[in-house]
Structure 1
C-alpha cells in the first residue's frame, strides 16, 4: 500500500499556508489558467487530471518551495491547526512516498523520521526510508528498528490500490486504517499523536472506539489543501494514554 502524494491549538506560533494565488479577481485567474490541448487517444479522465495539475496552486507552490508533492501542504495545514510537530521529536511516516510529509516533518524540527512505502522513495537527508509493503508483518518490525525508540508522532498517508469494486475497496481502506492505528498504539510514547488519512466510511466504529479509549482527543479535519471533490479527510488522535 502506498502513500497518495498527489491524490490526490498550538503551543507555538501559527504559520499561514494557503495557496500562492492572491486577490479575488476571478477574471484574472481565468486569464492565467493554463489550457490543456486535447491529445488524440488521451482518456477524458487523464485530460481532467492534467488540467487540474497544471492549474492547481498547491502543485505550483510545491515546485517553488521544493516539496515533492502537493500533499506536503495537507500536513503543513494540519500542523498549523493542531500543533503536531515539535523540535526533536521522533516521527513514523506510513505510506511515505514520494516523501513530502517526511520533508515537512524535518523542516519543522523533527529530530528523527522513519518512513515506509511500497513505492521506492528517493533519499531525503535526515530520514530513514524503507522500500517495503507496510501490510507485511516484517515491515512493522523493520520500521520500529528504524525509529530507534518510541515515536512521538505516527503519520499515515496510506491508500490502497483500488479495484473499482466499492465493497472490496471499502474493506481495503478500513483494513489499512486499522493496521496503522494498531501500529501507532504499539509504538507511541505517552502523550503521542496519531494522524491518518481516511475516506468516507474509512474507519470502523471499533477502531474509533479503541482510539477514543486510548487517546485524550480524537477528531476529524479536512485541511484546505485536500481537494473539495476528494472523499478524504484526516483523523487526528492526540494525547496517547499509553
Structure 2
C-alpha cells in the first residue's frame, strides 16, 4: 500500500506529493525503502513514458551527450545488458536494424528481443562467451564496449568493490582484444580506491581515462562510470606516461 505525504495544513505541493510505502507483512525494511525510492524516482517514470526498459538508459544517454560515445554506424558490444536499456539507446543512436545489426548484447538474465540488437543469454565470465560475441560481429572490430555488469552485492562494501573491479578487468581485457583503433570503453565501478592498477592498465591502451557520474546516477550511491577513449590499437601502445586521466566534474 502507498499513501502521499501532505504538509502545509493539507495543501499539496510538488514536495508534498512524495509517495510513502507502508510496511507489509513479510517485506523487509530494505525492500520497502527500495520500492518507495522507485515510486518517487523521476527517471523511473521517464523510462516508462519513453519506452525504456530501465532508468539506467538515461545514464548512458547522459554520458553520450557529454562524451559523444555513439555515432551513426558505431559497432557496440553491451556486457551485462539486461534488462536492455543501454542496448535500446545504443541501437537507436547508431542506426542499428535487424537487417544490419550493429549492437550485440549479453547477460545471464533473460531479455525480450530488442530491434536491431543481437542478444545472448549467457554469463560473460564463461570461457566461450567472448568468442560468441566476436562471431556475432562477423569478425569485425567494435567501436565501443560498454559494461554495466555487477555481481549481486554482499553488503560488505570493500568486498563488493573488489568483485566489480574483477568484472571490469575481464571486460577491459575483452575490449582491448576487440576494439578498433580510436574505440572507447565504458564500465560501471563503485569508487573505493582499489582500481589504480586497472586505471594504469587502461592508460597504456587508451589516450584518455576518467570517471563520470551522470545526473541520473543516484547521488547517494558510490556508483560511477569509468570511461576510456581513444583506443591506441595493438601497434600504438605506450607505457602510459603521456596519457591523461582525470575526474569528471
Fold agreement, TM-score > 0.5: yes
User: Structure 1 residues 202 and 188, CA, compared in 2 at 3 Å: closer, same or farther?
Assistant: farther
Tell me the residue number matched to 1:53.
38
Tell me the residue number matched to 1:5.
none
Q: 3-state DSSP class of the match of 1:208? A: helix
Contact 2:162 / 2:194 at 8 angstroms: preserved in 1?
no
User: Structure 1 residues 53 and 69, CA, compared in 2 at 3 Å: closer, same or farther?
Assistant: same
Which protein is bigger by CA-based radius of gyration?
Answer: 2
Question: 1:202 & 1:128 partners in 2: Cα distance?
Answer: 35
Task: Figure out how many residues of one structure are paired with residues of the other and give that number.
Answer: 216
Contact 2:188 / 2:225 at 8 angstroms: preserved in 1?
yes
Alpha-carbon RMSD: 1.5
Tell me the CA shift for residue 38 of structure 1: 2.2
Question: 2:157 & 2:35 partners in 1: Cα distance?
Answer: 25
1:159-201 per-position Cα deviation (integer Å, ceiling 9, x unaligned): 0122334454333212101001100111000000000001123
Tell me the residue number matched to 1:30.
15
Tell me the residue number matched to 1:72.
57
What are the within-5 Å matches in structure 2 for residues 63-102 of structure 1? 63-102=48-87
Structure 2 residue aligned with 1:210, among 198, 201, 204?
Answer: 201
The structure with higher relative contact order (CA 8 Å, sep 6+) is 1
Tell me the residue number matched to 2:131.
141
Any unmatched runs of 5+ in structure 2?
1-11, 97-101, 234-249
1:194 aligns with 2:191: no
Contact 1:91 / 1:147 at 8 angstroms: preserved in 2?
no
Structure 1 residue aligned with 2:115, among 125, 139, 145?
Answer: 125
Any unmatched runs of 5+ in structure 1?
1-26
TM-score, normalisation: structure 1: 0.85
Q: Mean alpha-carbon deviation: is it higher for 93-102 or for 120-129?
A: 120-129
Contact 1:190 / 1:239 at 8 angstroms: preserved in 2?
yes
Question: 1:223 & 1:187 partners in 2: Cα distance?
Answer: 26
Structure 2 residue aligned with 1:177, among 168, 173, 179?
Answer: 168
Structure 2 residue aligned with 1:164, among 149, 152, 155?
Answer: 155
Tell me the residue number matched to 1:227.
218
TM-score, normalisation: structure 2: 0.83
Question: 2:16 & 2:165 partners in 1: Cα distance?
Answer: 43
Tell me the CA shift for residue 133 of structure 1: 0.6
Tell me the residue number matched to 1:18.
none
